[in-house]
Amino acid sequence: LVVSTMKIFPLLVGLTCIISSSALSVNRRLYLLKQTGCIATLATTTTAVATRSAHAADVKSRTDGYAIQHTDREWAYILSGPQYNILRQGGTERQKASILHTFTMANVGTYTCAGCATPLFSSEDKFSSGTGWPSFSSALPGVEVEELDPVRATLDGREVRCSSCGGHLGDLFNDGWIYRGSSAAKTGKRYCIDGAALVFKPEGGGEDVFGDDPPPNRVIKYEQSMYRDS
């Protein structure tokens, strides 16, 4: 099995491992796993694949039950292509593709939903994870986190959405303790967020910064979701 993925820091550092299963076409979540040389046992991998596949069929609707409602056609009109890909289709942007990846705590303000302007993250909780995606140690009340049992939440991570419109934002991982000296080390959490799902609003006013803008001299490329259905 070749694990081809993105967006996970080694959650199982120190475990003896071997990943082997063609079913792991799944995902961005294990991107850094192969870079660290850490591999899960075959039994653990097989179980994770099975539970992930079963869970995929039970994914919560991104429309039903949310306060802000639009038809799919309306969302496609309201949002830019990259925003629609992330928020409504559960897509994933490439590493270091968003200008917001370059922002630090020094950029004081609030990160809001690109679909409905709900406040999601504070600049106080932003930290550098080295993963290539905007990362936060905590979230504001406007963020909804997928409910999973502790084992699956640790192995797989949990989907993060806007609680107002249901837009996909990224994933929450329980590996914050790895980032010593950061705010994530205190919370034990790493919110790994797609920049295109966000709009940064500077404190005290100023021009909004849209996360679907790339850093200078870089072009954003997107891929379809490999594990979420809209």
Which residues are known to be catalytic?
192
**Alpha-carbon span 77 to 157, nearest angstrom:** 31
Can you spell out the DSSP letters for 167-219?
Answer: -EEEEEES-GGGSTTSHHHHH--EEEE-GGGEEEEETTS---EETTSPPTT--
Which residue type, as a one-letter code, is found at position 108? V
Asked whether 173 and 192 are in contact (CB, 8 A), the reply is yes
128's torsion region: left (phi>0), alpha (psi -120 to 50) or beta?
Answer: beta
Asked whether 207 and 160 are in contact (CB, 8 A), the reply is no
**Alpha-carbon span 67 to 72, nearest angstrom:** 15
Q: Which sign does the torsion angle of CA 110, 111, 112, 114 carry?
A: positive
- DSSP H or E segment with residue 144: strand 143-145
Reduced 3-state DSSP string for 44-68:
HHHHHHHHHHHHHCCCCCCCCCCCC
Cβ neighbour number for residue 95 with a 10 Å cutoff? 14
